[in-house]
Amino acid sequence: MRVVLQRVREASVVLQEDMSHGPLRLRGAVDGHNSARIGRGLLVLVGFEDTDGDGDVDWMVGKIVRMRLFGDDAGVMNRSVQEVGGEILAVSQFTLYASVKKGNRPSWHRAARGDVSQPMFQRFVAKLAQELGKPVATGVFGADMHVSLVNDGPVTVIVDSRAPSKRALAPEWMSAFHGRAGESVGDDDDRPIAVELVALVEQRNRRPLEPVFVE
């Protein structure tokens, strides 16, 4: 799970409606139902991977609500959005997981499918509102939207729920390879997955592995 946090003076999202699917509503909407906006607070862009779960959501919510991104009386970033009574606007954005190493067209193979990411986004917003103690404004999942903001600082922070090495070695990923050595992870890092496995096992065993050849 990946989020981009931006400390804002104000932020808004305007829905570009597709009337063939009927009207869509934004949480925290004003001006009818075509836009939602906040004042001082955080604009949160959020993306999900197929391997993300409730633990990633819970960890990320705690990090967002408690991260000290706002100034205290001395001007030091020592207060959280919760402590300053700030608001949050959350917008789902699968493009956060773009892979651009090969070619000029971004690949989205790491981004979770809609049937996976939509319920996680809903859980994320509900948990975020619970921890913040007030409603969280949102965009509409999967809709075409225009997002505007006034970044205060500027202050922008990118947060991943998992370190890259842990993500590459997640059990869900490993099962897809059925223990076949020498295959690529398929991510931006093209090193064989066997190299990652050896490094992890050696670290846990605190000694080097003897080479083994398999057919």
> Residue 25: its pLDDT value, please?
47
- Under-50 pLDDT residues of the chain: 19-25, 28-32, 165-170, 172-192, 212-215
Round to whole Å and give the CA distance between 202 and 207. 5
The verdict on residue 9 lying in a domain is: yes
Tens-digit pLDDT profile for residues 145-190:
899 999 999 999 999 998 654 444 445 444 444 444 444 444 444 4
Q: Do 113 and 43 have their domain in common?
A: yes
Adjacent-strand bridge partners of 133: none
The verdict on residue 215 lying in a domain is: no
The verdict on residue 100 lying in a domain is: yes
The verdict on residue 79 lying in a domain is: yes
The verdict on residue 182 lying in a domain is: yes
Tens-digit pLDDT profile for residues 67-82:
999 999 998 999 999 9
Adjacent-strand bridge partners of 147: 13
Round to whole Å and give the CA distance between 101 and 109. 13
Q: Do 60 and 132 have their domain in common?
A: yes
Active-site annotation holder among 93, 121, 124, 138: 93
Is 93 among the residues known to form the active site? Answer: yes
Q: Do 13 and 83 have their domain in common?
A: yes
What SS3 string covers the chain? CEEEEEEEEEEEEEECCCHHHCCCCCCCEECCCCEEEECCEEEEEEECECCCCHHHHHHHHHHHHHCEEEECCCCCEEEECCCCCCEEEEEECHHHHCECCCCCCCECCCECCHHHHHHHHHHHHHHHHHHHCCCCEECCCCCCEEEEEEEEEEEEEEEECCCHHHHHCCHHHHHHHCCCCCCECCCCCCCEHHHHHHHHHHHHHCCCCCCCCCC
How many domains, in total, are found in the chain? 2
Q: Do 76 and 175 have their domain in common?
A: no
Q: Do 177 and 129 have their domain in common?
A: no
Is 94 among the residues known to form the active site? Answer: yes
Q: Do 149 and 178 have their domain in common?
A: no
List the domain range (segments joined by +) for residue 201: 166-205
Active-site annotation holder among 6, 48, 70, 94: 94
The verdict on residue 29 lying in a domain is: yes
C-alpha distances out from residue 207 to 92, 197, 198, 204, 210, Å: 43, 14, 11, 8, 10
Strands 35-38 and 2-15: antiparallel
Q: What is the pTM of this model?
A: 0.69
CATH number for the domain that contains residue 89: 3.50.80.10
Is 51 among the residues known to form the active site? Answer: no
